[in-house]
Amino acid sequence: MASDSPGKDWSTAEEEIMEAIYRALLNHGYADLSISQIADELDKSKAAIYYHYNTKDDLLVAFLEFAVDRFEETIDTETGNEPAADLEHVIEKLLPLQPAEEQRQLQAVLVGLRSQGVTSEVFREQFTQIDERLAATIRGIVNRGIEEDTFRDVDSSRVAEHILATVNGARYGRATTDRKSAAAAARVSLASYIDSELRRTA
């Protein structure tokens, strides 16, 4: 795994709860989400949830960790031995040009949860870890490209932070405005940045 942080070993019960949270968030959003709605999606009593988690915030923090674990597993599975293609793949996963409706809903939910980090230390810590893990994934691909002489010898941390900041900004804009072309423009800008910053000239 490219990330410096190993994923959690989720139990079957925990995975089922996380999937129920995912469905409940898509159906109700963050603001209206309740333990009862999660229990309905789980088709079990609230007690089954409280056995594992004490509060709604505990559930959502765990869900964020679950989501990034699954993202990293997907990247590990789908990337190969071409750093340039792998980097493009990660960016497409994070900021798809034509997201399906479910992807749009999920990104909107994540933006809503991220905003809680302004006032909630627990959410701030979780999104700090998420961004650090995503940056580590990007940094690992860039370092591999440098080692294989596919990319120029650059500061991989600086490149990773630039890419992540651009992706996060574009996702926020997509979720909170009607500027439909902004995300595509950000992707074009990222492609130009990668070409000029990383790719070796003939």
Helix (H, G, I), strand (E, B) or coil at 120: coil
CA-to-CA distance for 163 and 97, rounded, in angstroms?
15
pLDDT confidence bin for 147, thresholds 50/70/90 = very high
Mean pLDDT of the chain: 90
Residue closest to 164 by CA, chosen among 196, 127, 199, 200: 127
The predicted-structure confidence for 13-37, as pLDDT tens digits, reads as follows 899 999 999 999 888 888 888 999 9
Q: How confident is the model at residue 1, as a pLDDT?
A: 37
SS3 51: coil
pLDDT of 202 strictly over 70 = no
Domain positions in the chain: 9-54, 56-197
Cα-Cα-Cα-Cα torsion 110, 104, 39, 35, nearest 10 degrees, comes to 40
Domain 56-197 bears CATH identifier 1.10.357.10: yes
Of the candidates 179, 79, 81, the residue with the CA atom closest to the CA atom of residue 171: 179
Give percent of the chain above pLDDT 70: 96
- pLDDT at site 8: 76
Q: Is the pLDDT of residue 2 over 70?
A: no
Q: What pTM does this model have? A: 0.85
Q: Give domain 9-54's CATH superfamily.
A: Homeodomain-like (1.10.10.60)
pLDDT at 191 over 50: yes
Angle between helices 121-147 and 83-94 (to 10 degrees): 160
154-187 pLDDT per residue, tens: 999 999 999 999 999 999 999 999 998 999 999 9
